Amino acid sequence: MPSTKEIKNRIKSVQDTQKITGAMHLIAATKLQRAKAEFDKTRPYFDAVKGEIKRIFRTDEDIDSRYFYPVTGEHDFEGAYGYLVITADKGLAGAYNLNVIKQALAMMSAHDNNKLYVVGEYGRQYFATHKIPIEKSFLYTAQNPTMHRAREMSSILVDAFNKGELKKIFVIYTDFHSGLNDEACTTRLLPFHRANFTTPAQEKSIDVPFEFEPSMEQVLDNIIPSYITGFIYSALVSGFCSEQSARMTAMDSANTNAEKLLDGLGRQYNHIRQSDITREITEIASGSRSLKRNAEKHRKE
């Protein structure tokens, strides 16, 4: 049985760990709020970009663009598929990273020719350890999603798509909802399906025709890269928010477990302390009785 000193040392160790997990919870909450605020500032611009793409399709549903599936509905293409996998830089976030990686491995197993693009140190280390080749590792910290970094990623991926090096591009990340039901998801980035930008029938009529210079196709081709940048940025922020939410949940769970552990250690400490007190009282009482018997023995003599 451990001594009271050993239990007190363990209680102090758990309390010190609890202070760390509490601090990490507060830091994650602050980062989450800041990231959401930054994303909300940029959302109106990309909503407007999507609105302009819809306007083009309201004008001509059959417009031809290399960024969209053909009007014929052909979906299968021969060639490499690209996967942008967004993970965190570190663990301590529950199953956040593993869920994204499992989703990526499942997608890659369905196609033979794959090219992997990775964000986040955790993902880089995982794929390197398992000897899965990485086409491009974006050496940015996942802790600081910015529009500039999203634009660089978009430029590399779109350029590979335009050159025919990639026939399809997917983004694998964690979609942030409320922190309660966040889940890893896969979104096809390119080519787009026309249904993504079509509007209900009652909204399709245009009273005054729009004019596009130099042409409708070139306007669409110029808008799409900006839209892709916005989507990648939203995926980076969504993944970052989900990471912080998962870390908050993990730290909450750690704090709850620490409270239970401290409660158990406290009871154990009190039990041992009470046993020690009882033993000391017993020893004192035994000694007292022994002295009393010796005194009586001396008086009789």
For 58-105, what is each residue's pLDDT tens digit? 766 667 778 887 766 666 778 889 999 988 887 667 677 888 888 899
Which carries the bigger pLDDT value, residue 42 or residue 136? 136
d(CA 29, CA 244): 7
Task: Calculate the alpha carbon distances from 116 to 82, 111, 135 in Å.
Answer: 6, 12, 5
pLDDT value for 157? 92
Average pLDDT over residues 118-134: 89
Burial class (CB in 10 A: 0-12, 13-18, 19+), 205: exposed
Work out the average pLDDT over 124-139.
88
Percent of the chain residues topping a pLDDT of 70:
82
**How does the average pLDDT of the chain come out, rounded?**
78
Overall average pLDDT of the 274-299 stretch: 72
pLDDT score recorded for residue 83: 93
Alpha-carbon span 16 to 275, nearest angstrom: 27
- For the chain, the residue count is 301
Residue 173's SS3 state is strand
pLDDT for position 84:
93
Is residue 201 predicted with pLDDT exceeding 60? no
The answer to which of 22-26, 61-65, 138-142, 209-213 has the lowest mean pLDDT is 209-213
Q: Please tell me the pTM assigned to this model.
A: 0.73
Q: Residue 206 and residue 172: Cα distance in Å, rounded? A: 37
**Which of 149-153, 156-160, 190-194, 274-278 is the least confident region?**
274-278
Angstrom distance (rounded) from CA 208 to CA 227: 25
State the pLDDT confidence band at 202, using cuts at 50, 70 and 90: very low
Shortest CA distance to 84 belongs to which of 134, 20, 145?
134
Please state the rounded mean pLDDT for residues 185-200.
Answer: 76
Please tell me the distance from the alpha carbon of residue 87 to that of residue 229, in angstroms, as a whole number: 18
- 107 or 25, which is more confident: 107
Residue type, 197: F
The alpha-carbon radius of gyration of the chain (Å, integer) is 32
Q: Say whether 242 sits in a helix, a strand or coil.
A: helix
**207 pLDDT tier (thresholds 50, 70, 90):** low
Cα torsion angle, 75, 76, 80, 85, sign:
positive
Residue 298's pLDDT band (cuts 50, 70, 90) = low
Does position 117 have pLDDT exceeding 90, yes or no? yes
Residue 200 pLDDT greater than 60, yes or no: no
